[in-house]
Chains A and B, each alone.
Chain A
Amino acid sequence: DAKTTQPTSMDCAEGRAANLPCNHSTISGNEYVYWYRQIHSQGPQYIIHGLKNNETNEMASLIITEDRKSSTLILPHATLRDTAVYYCIVRVVWDQGGKLIFGQGTELSVKP
């Protein structure tokens, strides 16, 4: 079973920041938080990952709370092309190889 809880769906206005929350209250010390997204009819796409520090790349920012029990993925200026299902995943990167356990994700709709 997935170790994360995400809202089923969210809306965001085009050009505004999209903030997608994820709860992972049972996360252990050696588990990282990963985010992927799946645009309709495509394979999932890696976005970002982190352990305990905030991370930023060209796609998004990841904010992890100090107790690591939750995190937020931020898309700073959402566009219509960001409409997708966003998956938050926790994993032990060294022991589980390539195995990803997906939950149901959050369906983000970016509206004009």
Chain B
Amino acid sequence: KAGVTQTPRYLIKTRGQQVTLSCSPISGHRSVSWYQQTPGQGLQFLFEYFSETQRNKGNFPGRFSGRQFSNSRSEMNVSTLELGDSALYLCASSYGTGGLRNEQFFGPGTRLTVL
């Protein structure tokens, strides 16, 4: 079974631009979560989508948004990029949302650099 895939793997943008990152979950998984990882703040939860609905949201500004499609694929968008948005963005999928057997499987991440 293929794992979680994220595209692109690396991205370079300049301040003020916007960016869209994509995540394809494991086949059959309906929940997708996004995380940001930086050296200073560590791994931080951005949001979770389940059946095309945002179920949970972390403490990030409105510039960070996401969506989920009917095939469970998800995208996240960051508008008006700032230097501090440079990070590894990780996507994780699970079969459902919550529950004991819904361990999350992470993708390899997208490395975003903002210049």
Contacts and interface: CB of A to CB of B under 8 A. Distances in A.
Interface string B95-115: 001111011111111000000
A40 to B, nearest CB: 11
Interface stretch (B11-19, B41-49, B61-69, B78-86): B41-49
A98 interface: yes
A97 B31 contact: yes
A89 to B, nearest CB: 10
The dominant DSSP class at the A interface is loop
Interface residues of B, number: 28
Residue of A44, A93, A98 most packed against chain B (CB within 10 A): A98
B92 interface: yes
Residue of A46, A99, A102 most packed against chain B (CB within 10 A): A99
Given A102-B42, A103-B42, A104-B42, A96 B108 contact: no
